[in-house]
Amino acid sequence: MTRAREPIVVVGGGIAGLATALSLAPWPVRLLCRTHDGSDTASVLAQGGIAAAIDDADSPAAHALDTLAAGAQHNDQLRVHWLCQQAPEAIDWLQTQGVVFDRDARGQLHLGREGGHQVARIVHVGGDASGAGIMAVLRQRVQQATHIQYRGDVEVDALLLRGSTVEGVRIRDRRERAHEIGASAVVLATGGIGALFARTSNPPGADGNGLALGLCAGAQIRDIEFVQFHPTALCVAESGCLPLITEALRGAGARLQDHSGRPLMTGLHPQEDLAPRDIVARQVWDAHRREGAAWLDARELKRGWERYFPTVMAACLAHGIDPRTQRMPVTAASHFHMGGLAVDLDGQTSVNGLYAVGEVACNGVHGANRLASNSLLEGVLCGRRLGVLLADRGAQNMTPKTGGGRYRWVTRGNSLPAELMADLRSTLWRAAGPVRDAAGLQQASQACAQWAEQGWQARLASDLLAAARSRAHSLGSHYRADALIGGEFR
């Protein structure tokens, strides 16, 4: 429930946060972002588009089956069917906002295919620049919206609770000046945890800050051991945010190879290079373990393919690689967090007054491994649903049953020093990457325990490692190399 007259605070400038803020109209919104323009989000970097069953030969039921298969049947089935049924509506809403999706020669929406999908059902914007194109339109809408007050270059480091109810946030600006904002409700839309791993496709801001805030307020978490690793980040550095090579390029015919040019996926899965991401990522990981490299070959694609993949082309050329004549070096990289703050389909956490939406939240729709191009879809649909819900509650002047209580601030604490952050990222990459085992998880847990008093990132990593240790069998993106199969270790 919301408290009357106070604004609703939305923390995060990705697609989930913007969809929530826009859908809250006319209720007043304070939209808070770490960067001045909200550019430090995974949504902006998203090359894949949005999955939706809009072709006559497709159906929401088929979309749901692919989602459940990719998620290793660990998904919440009712929520999966809701997501897939509502997907065409998400496309319609984005078009009403001004998003111009790519179309074919007949003027129909151009549909691409990505890993885990049995049919082509992905709509794109500007080829492989979907996230940037969609976010540019939604940011413009936010700037025009009279009910939204936007503030960038700030970070939320504490939540205000009265009794057991969240009623405000504390922010710090670039000069470390603190400001307090009262709220009728707080929505966390802060993204994932990819930047806690050495190799990632995520921006630096995807460091789990919202997840840590929710934890310090007592919110329950769910499935945090499930981290998706994208199989094809451009391998141009040992750590940091790596350029992504969209799955759609494999959908167009590019093939994964080992150092000698042998196909990586032949005979390993019926969909070969377009198998679910967890399967492909492990093969790329294994190629690096065995040979120190893996490659993506697009040299046999039809001439002119680069017009449809301008982001990939620009990233390769910027690093001295011409994918029309050279193979692209690729690596697995942390990409998406299926786990997060446990929420219902309305985005409510276990803490009154605190909501979560997008990657920071876990409502069970993605299961143990997200289906390609369902993330922007979830951000739009769940953001809109939450925004409308909270606006309706505000209009009805409904208030939470808090029973009063004293006010107190809860804070996630200090950040790790830079040198320890580098160690943490390397530790998580080695122990909690695409392939895990008990010994590696134990060693990483001991290291993080030593760092826990120095920064909240180490405490968050400890929670992830504990969840990974407790799930002794392989499931989806959580692959235990030491799991028992038929009485034997594999």
240-241/199-200 β-pairing: parallel
Q: In whole angstroms, how large is the CA radius of gyration of the chain?
A: 22
Rounded to the nearest 5°, which phi and psi values hold at 155?
A: -130, 135
Tokens 């989930």 belong to residue: 16
Catalytic site includes residue 277: yes
End-to-end CA distance of the chain: 49
The whole-angstrom separation of Cα 429 and Cα 436 is 10
The whole-angstrom separation of Cα 328 and Cα 314 is 13
What angle (nearest 5°) sits at the alpha carbon of residue 192, between those of residues 319 and 51?
A: 80
The whole-angstrom separation of Cα 97 and Cα 138 is 7
User: How many residues belong to the chain?
Assistant: 490
Q: Encoding tokens for residue 213?
A: 């805030």
DSSP string, 138-192: HHHHHHH-TTEEEE-SEEEEEEEEETTEEEEEEEEETT--EEEEE-SEEEE----
The whole-angstrom separation of Cα 192 and Cα 459 is 16
| Strand ranges of the sheet holding 178-182, from the earlier edge strand across to the other edge | 178-182, 165-173, 154-162, 407-411
The whole-angstrom separation of Cα 154 and Cα 151 is 7
Q: Encoding tokens for residue 134?
A: 């969609």
What angle (nearest 5°) sits at the alpha carbon of residue 132, between those of residues 91 and 360?
A: 75
Reference 181, options 163, 161, 165, 160; nearest CA is: 160
The whole-angstrom separation of Cα 429 and Cα 23 is 37
Q: Using an 8 Å Cβ cutoff, are 425 and 239 in contact?
A: yes
Q: Encoding tokens for residue 436?
A: 């895990």
Answer whether the bond into residue 26 is a cis peptide, omega within 30°.
Answer: yes
* Rounded alpha-carbon distances, angstroms, from residue 77 to 23, 74, 84, 365: 26, 9, 11, 7
* Residue among 79, 113, 199, 277 flagged as catalytic: 277
Q: Which long-range contacts (CB under 8 A, 24 or more apart) does 53-59 make?
A: 53/84, 53/87, 53/88, 53/121, 54/87, 54/88, 54/91, 54/109, 54/111, 54/121, 54/123, 55/111, 55/119, 55/120, 55/121, 57/119, 58/119, 58/121
The whole-angstrom separation of Cα 455 and Cα 304 is 49
Q: Using an 8 Å Cβ cutoff, are 467 and 236 in contact?
A: no
How many CA atoms does the CB half-sphere of 295 hold within 13 Å? Answer: 16
Q: Looking at the annotation, which residues are catalytic?
A: 277
